Structure 1
Amino acid sequence: MFNNLSDKLDKAFHILKGHGKITEVNVAETLKEVRRALLDADVNFKIAKDFTTTVKEKAIGQNVLTTLEPGQLLVKIVKDELVELMGGDAAGINLSGTPTVILMSGLQGSGKTTFSGKLANYLKTKKNKKPLLVACDIYRPAAINQLHVVGDQIGVEVYSEPENKNPVSISQNAIAYAKANGFNVVIVDTAGRLAVDEEMMNEIANVHKAIQPHETLFVVDSMTGQDAVNTAKAFNDRLNFDGVILTKLDGDTRGGAAISIKSVVNKPIKFIGTGEKMDAIDVFYPSRMADRILGMGDVVSLVERAQEQYDEEEARKLQKKIAKNEFGFDDFLVQIQQIKKMGSMKDLVGMIPGAGKVMKDVEIEDDAFKHIEAIIHSMTPVERTKPAILDMKRKTRIAKGSGTKIEQVNQLLKQFDQMSKMMKMMQGPGGKNMMRMMGNMKGMK
């Protein structure tokens, strides 16, 4: 995510390395590179220019603390300004109303239908809501079927009227159905439209006027950069929407839309899409995003994702097994599954401070665990429980059965042995205190 921008900003800050203080000359040279990095990221020229001017004004004359180098101070100022540019604080979603009505708008191909499903899943699993998805795309072939497929995936009902070609009446009927059947959120998925298509823009304006949504969200593909910002402005002029959804952020190496859009339309980014799975949705936190852009990682989000997979009962069972030296490969498989549920491996690595720089040229596949899983699945139940019995004959069979090499089997066994020893050490007083602290952190934000 935003790899190109992160690399270029890192190079820009290196200009100050070795300087004892910030001067007008060295900060000007650094900020020239920062502005160039922002422009390469497809940030609007005026926004990039105003941004670097503000940073320069705040940097010049600042006393560098003895604990900081000039480069570190400038990074802090840039981070603070990036946070402000992207909206300051995280913006919540308005869930007032019985039911809450959310209208989804956006261009064709922006990922609106898929994100409608992700939002429904988020509200169902994280906010304990009972959402209803509404199919109001009457133009795109198979759009209604697509929403039904998405609904089936997440266990959310979809309201549709395939023979009705009037999105206003469909949405009104859906709200009446929701009220009669105990749904407390209605998510209206509309057809994708171009801002220059007057007839289509009038149509969504009519839907908006008829249903008076509590939230109108504009869904945009982040990878379209400056075009996304321009389109957002055109839609906002007609709908006066409440917030922006940035999809496909996991594939965006530039970041222009995320940085510019709040400044142009003065509406917050509320959610981001970070992958193809239905749970690949995150609340947009400007501060956390600024940290990631500057290569500082995002530990808070990483901990939150880990806590979502943390099961206290399972943790207690695991601790007992470790204490009795009964931790086996079946338990290891369970841990792998929990890690995989946290999101894509590339995204998780990007949340670890410094890891993005170290592994920037390393391609991290989402199926990084497939060889390990194949090796474990090729073991017998007894072998998984008692790895110590694995002799050369058994290892050869496992390698052949898993389509791997004997060296890979040996490597896994070595890593497993090291991990088991480390987990055993964690059973000591210091480790138990840390585990107890992690348990207490569960649910904290």
Structure 2
Amino acid sequence: MFENLQERLGKTLKNISGRGRLTEDNIKDTLREVRMAFLEADVALPVVREFVKQVKERAVGIEVTKSLSPGQVFIKIVREELEKAMGEANEELSLNAQPPAVVMMAGLQGAGKTTSVGKLAKFLKERKKKSVLVVSADVYRPAAIKQLETLATEVDVEFFPSDISQKPVDIATAAISHAKKKFIDVVLVDTAGRLHVDSDMMDEIKALHHAINPIETLFVVDAMTGQDAANTAKAFDEALPLTGVILTKTDGDARGGAALSIRHITGKPIKFMGVGEHTDALEPFHPDRIASRILGMGDVLSLIEEVEMKVDKEQAAKVAQKVFKGDGFTLDDFADQLKQMKNMGGMMSMLDKLPGMQNIPDAVKGQMGDKTFIQMEAIISSMTKKERARPEIIKGSRKKRIAAGSGTQVQEINKLLKQFTQMQKMMKKMKGKGGMQKMMRGMKGMLPPGMMGGGGPKF
């Protein structure tokens, strides 16, 4: 998300960051560029106007003129105003109610409502240690009921059955009653979507809301619809007392207009964002971290949280133990590392959260996608146990066999073996006194300029 805005703002703010003095003229030029960047990112016009007005007021004020580095203070102001536009801080779900806490999901058809119910159920179960029941009140799409049942099985939460002959209010009240008897903490109610906002749909969802009185009413909206997402959210907010928004498909949205517009237009916080198709691809929305990402400063806190949750610590400890003992780093260990990275959404998902990533050329980014990971895993899987333990024996005929088995070319086998050798060397540097520092120095040379504070090769 935000690739286009990040690139455009990066160039604009770079021009002003080194200025020793800010005048109304050079601020005016920069803000014109910022305005254009926002409009191209499909941010709603009232949001753009308010943002530019606030930045201008603060930038020509005493805050900047008395500073020793006005350009840097200007960027700080832009960052703070970005945070303000998106809500300043993450707002968690309010689940402080007599159990079960009822959460109702609303939104248009195709926004990813049912998938978001599955993701949120997993989030609450694993991160908040809550018992969860999910129920579908979508009596217009039997497939939606079946989809939710499949998701409930996948994330291991309770599913309350329903069918198209029932009324939405009856389904939801029966599910809540069942949850009370079973002492379940949270009930997630999936509702019917439509292809557009219509009065019948709104009347039905209002009646359902009145009957179940949820503690949270979340509007699920597709980030790729840009500022239209904010307008649809406003229409729903006028009909329902929304408490927050889940922004879906943010991994496919290069602009970011929805994220920057929704809070301003509806006054409701974005509580979560969907960052992929898997059931664990749901992240709490932190405006401060998103502002950092937009300005190319990375989001290291989210990366650390992801590592904490998704990395198999036992497996990582085993590999570390092996390396420190001097038993070496094998291709099996390498394959395990690839799987762990895949669990975290792939290399690009991780690297996007690191500072300075906008400096990496597209050609280099192309070599870090999921396709590369799948190919590398296929190559390693096509090797024998002996070859994985002793890659130095992989010569001509073996390379041809591995290439044929993995559907790749011999040059791809060579490339993987070269990458593995580099990683092996880095792992060896970890042994002994000052090992970690040596390894970090080795990595520094392999990274692009601006990352880890060092100069790498110019791509």
1:348 to 326, 342, 350: 350
Give the TM-score normalised by structure 1: 0.91
Give the TM-score normalised by structure 2: 0.89
Which stretch shows the higher mean deviation, 112-121 or 299-308?
299-308
Could you tell me which residue of structure 2 aligns to residue 7 of structure 1? Answer: 7
Residue 382 in structure 1 maps to residue 386 in structure 2: yes
Alpha-carbon separation, structure 1, partners of 2:67 and 2:362: 31
Look up the SS of the partner of 2:42 in the other structure.
coil
Look up the SS of the partner of 2:20 in the other structure.
coil
- Deviation of 1:125 (Å): 1.6
- Deviation of 1:15 (Å): 4.0
- Deviation of 1:371 (Å): 2.4
- The runs of 5 or more residues in structure 2 that have no matched partner are 440-459
Which stretch shows the higher mean deviation, 225-234 or 271-280?
225-234
- Deviation of 1:96 (Å): 2.0
Deviations 1:170-205 (A, max 9, x none): 100000111222321100000014674222211111
Could you tell me which residue of structure 2 aligns to residue 401 of structure 1? Answer: 405
Which stretch shows the higher mean deviation, 274-283 or 231-240?
231-240
Could you tell me which residue of structure 2 aligns to residue 126 of structure 1? Answer: 127
Contact preservation (8 Å) 2:140, 2:164: no
Amino acid paired to 1:395:
K
Could you tell me which residue of structure 2 aligns to residue 243 of structure 1? Answer: 244
Contact preservation (8 Å) 1:82, 1:290: yes
Contact preservation (8 Å) 2:124, 2:132: yes
Alpha-carbon separation, structure 1, partners of 2:147 and 2:171: 17
- Deviation of 1:17 (Å): 6.0
Which stretch shows the higher mean deviation, 365-374 or 102-111?
365-374
Residue 104 in structure 1 maps to residue 105 in structure 2: yes
- The runs of 5 or more residues in structure 1 that have no matched partner are 436-445
Which stretch shows the higher mean deviation, 376-385 or 316-325?
316-325
Could you tell me which residue of structure 1 aligns to residue 421 of structure 2? Answer: 417
Alpha-carbon separation, structure 2, partners of 1:176 and 1:202: 24
Look up the SS of the partner of 1:216 in the other structure.
strand
Which stretch shows the higher mean deviation, 389-398 or 22-31?
389-398
Look up the SS of the partner of 2:189 in the other structure.
strand
Could you tell me which residue of structure 2 aligns to residue 28 of structure 1? Answer: 28
Alpha-carbon separation, structure 2, partners of 1:5 and 1:114: 28
- Deviation of 1:339 (Å): 0.5
Amino acid paired to 1:205:
K
Could you tell me which residue of structure 1 aligns to residue 173 of structure 2? Answer: 172
Residue 332 in structure 1 maps to residue 334 in structure 2: yes
- Deviation of 1:382 (Å): 1.3
Alpha-carbon separation, structure 1, partners of 2:15 and 2:311: 43
Alpha-carbon separation, structure 2, partners of 1:249 and 1:89: 19
Could you tell me which residue of structure 1 aligns to residue 434 of structure 2? Answer: 430
Contact preservation (8 Å) 1:64, 1:73: no
Look up the SS of the partner of 2:434 in the other structure.
helix
What is the RMSD of the two structures over their aligned residues, measured on CA atoms? 2.2
Amino acid paired to 1:376:
I
Contact preservation (8 Å) 1:136, 1:160: no
Look up the SS of the partner of 1:240 in the other structure.
coil
Amino acid paired to 2:420:
F
Amino acid paired to 2:408:
T
Look up the SS of the partner of 1:187 in the other structure.
strand
Which stretch shows the higher mean deviation, 317-326 or 107-116?
317-326
Alpha-carbon separation, structure 1, partners of 2:155 and 2:143: 19
Amino acid paired to 1:371:
Q
Percent of aligned pairs with the same amino acid: 49
Could you tell me which residue of structure 2 aligns to residue 440 of structure 1? Answer: none
Alpha-carbon separation, structure 1, partners of 2:49 and 2:212: 41
Look up the SS of the partner of 1:188 in the other structure.
strand
Could you tell me which residue of structure 1 aligns to residue 444 of structure 2? Answer: none
Contact preservation (8 Å) 1:223, 1:248: yes
Contact preservation (8 Å) 2:124, 2:130: yes
Residue 183 in structure 1 maps to residue 184 in structure 2: yes
Look up the SS of the partner of 1:144 in the other structure.
helix
